[in-house]
Amino acid sequence: MIGKGKELSQELRSFYDGTGLRRICNFLNDPVKWKEHHFTISPPRPSAPYKVIVIAMMLRKEKVALQCHLYCHEQLYSSKAKIDIHWDHFGFPYGTADILCPLPSGCGTPTRVAITTGAIRNKGTEVSFRNQKVLTNFSYTFTSCFSTMYNFTNVLQVTFELLQYLGVNRVVVYKTNCSADTQRVLDYYTKKGLVEVIPWSLSNYLTVSRKALPKQDPADIHYFGQIPALNDCLYRYMYQSKYVALHDPDEYILPHWVELLPILEKRYGAGKCYIFENNWIPVEFALTPPPPHTLPQQKQWQNISGVNILTHIYNEPIAPKPAFNNYKIITNPRAVFAVSVHGVLKPWKTCTWTDRKIARMYHIKLRGKTELKPEQLIYDNRLLNYNAQLSSAVNIVLRDTGLLSEDNLN
């Protein structure tokens, strides 16, 4: 039932500042907990018949009635919330949820919303909106969303330089903590305007798993809260970026995005979600390329924390279907409503597989125990094609951040 407008009490004036913003709040510096079991992230876009969707993390087994309190034109309106918990929760007790709030008559453009479990005296989580207008001109063409950085020690200058070369204008990093050297690199790219670091303090409120499944590491929520972070990034950049890519720092979609996306738009249709097949590159194998090719000589990088992706150029054979492929996506963020680690939850029909002859993704990481023999790996020199541009750019970053001295670079 939707409540009528009423004057705003003094108590609620501390909730609402009437700023006129409409889309996503900057919750993540210190998330607010209500009723012990539910955590709100942000209110994203309108979606008829519900005009406000608030992303939350909720205890799946608990049934709870929630109220939306919307502030419009110096008056407060209330409505009964609908709760939609995402089905892709990997079996953990908590899942990402959409809290859907109908807009009452006379409250077409709310500036604030609070979610509570009962009467308004039970202070819940209050959040503001951004981007009231539906925009068609974007600040960024390509935004990459990285979630979630926890005890991270891999220095990211090679990743950031490659992404810039591919055409990425913005990288969003959801960070709990990282090494001092990694922070130095994040600060460097933040100052340049490439990176936005979102403080991700979820581990202060829930026990976060370090693994993908409860049987691997029992906890409250999947892999550091990766799924709500990805959904937040989707909505946060919905009207800031033409396309959003959801992938990890050690995953690289090739070739050049500026040239690739027009091809995909023409072949599969514009404004869609494009799926890229994953190709594992195990770093356990240090293999040289076949003659006459050679690996780049970068001895000065040897003491820098992380993986030099230019020295790993052999990938595993693709597992035949129906084996799951750990694919990732580049999507028009305005075409989808909910995402997960691998792809889109709603609406799935928005997505289309990209022909691997046109583009593919490379995931460069330790694979652990494997029965593969070196001779079974497949040589792929695509990354080597970026050697000249990357090497010089990375050396500049290492010098400017003080990770390497001028003498070590000569």
What integer pLDDT is reported at residue 187 of this predicted model? Answer: 97
- Best mean pLDDT range from 32-41, 88-97, 250-259: 250-259
To the nearest whole percent, how much of the chain has pLDDT over 90? 51
> What is the pLDDT averaged over residues 230-240?
93
Assess whether pLDDT exceeds 70 at residue 221: yes
Q: How confident is the model at residue 6 (pLDDT cuts 50, 70, 90)?
A: very low
Token digits for 24? 């996503």
The helix or strand, by DSSP H or E, that contains position 52, with its residue range, turns out to be: strand 50-59
Looking at residue 409, what is its pLDDT? Answer: 63
On the question of pLDDT at 2 being above 70, the answer is no
Q: What pLDDT is attached to residue 147? A: 85
- Of 78, 401, 94, 377, which is closest to residue 220 (Cα–Cα)? 94
* SS3 call for 178: strand
Higher pLDDT, 125 or 92: 92
pLDDT (0 to 100) of residue 32: 37
Q: Where in the chain is the domain with CATH 2.60.40?
A: 6-128
Residue 105 DSSP one-character state: T
Residue 321 banded pLDDT, cuts 50, 70, 90: confident
How are strands ordered across the β-sheet holding 6-7? 6-7, 75-80, 67-72, 112-116, 125-128
pLDDT, tens only, 9-62: 333 333 333 222 222 233 333 333 443 455 565 544 555 456 788 889 999 998
Reading the block at residue 133, the tokens are 């207008």
Q: Which residues pair with 58 in a beta bridge?
A: 38, 95
User: What's the pLDDT at 278?
Assistant: 96
What residue spans in the chain does CATH classification 3.90.550 cover? 140-409
Whether pLDDT at 353 is above 60: yes
Q: What is the pLDDT of residue 297?
A: 82
Residues 337-363 have a mean pLDDT of 92
CB contact at 8 A, 341 and 324: no
Mean pLDDT calculated for residue range 167-179: 95
Q: What is the pLDDT of residue 129?
A: 58
pLDDT tens digits for 268-315? 999 899 999 999 999 998 899 998 888 888 888 888 988 899 999 999
Give me the architecture of the 140-409 domain, per CATH: Alpha-Beta Complex (3.90)
CA angle 114, 117, 120 (to 5 degrees): 55
Q: Is the separation of the CB atoms in 234 and 336 below 8 Å?
A: yes
Side chain identity, residue 99? I
| pLDDT attached to residue 204 | 86
- List residues bridging with 42 in a β-sheet: 55
Structure tokens belonging to residue 110: 């709310």
Choose the CATH number for 6-128 among 2.60.40, 1.20.1070, 2.30.30, 2.40.160: 2.60.40
Mean pLDDT for the chain overall = 83
Q: Which residue has the higher pLDDT, 168 or 137?
A: 168
Distances (CA, A) of 275 to 328, 355, 363: 6, 9, 14
* Residue 251 confidence class, pLDDT cut points 50, 70, 90: very high
What share of the chain in percent tops pLDDT 70?
82
pLDDT of residue 126: 55
Q: If residue 262 lies in a helix (H) or strand (E), which one and from where to where? A: helix 257-268
* Mean pLDDT of all residues in 59-75: 89
The number of residues making up the chain comes to 410
Q: What is the pLDDT of residue 354?
A: 97
Specify burial of residue 276 (Cβ count, 10 A radius: 0-12, 13-18, 19+): buried
Which of 196-200, 302-306, 395-399 is predicted least confidently?
Answer: 302-306
SS3 394: helix
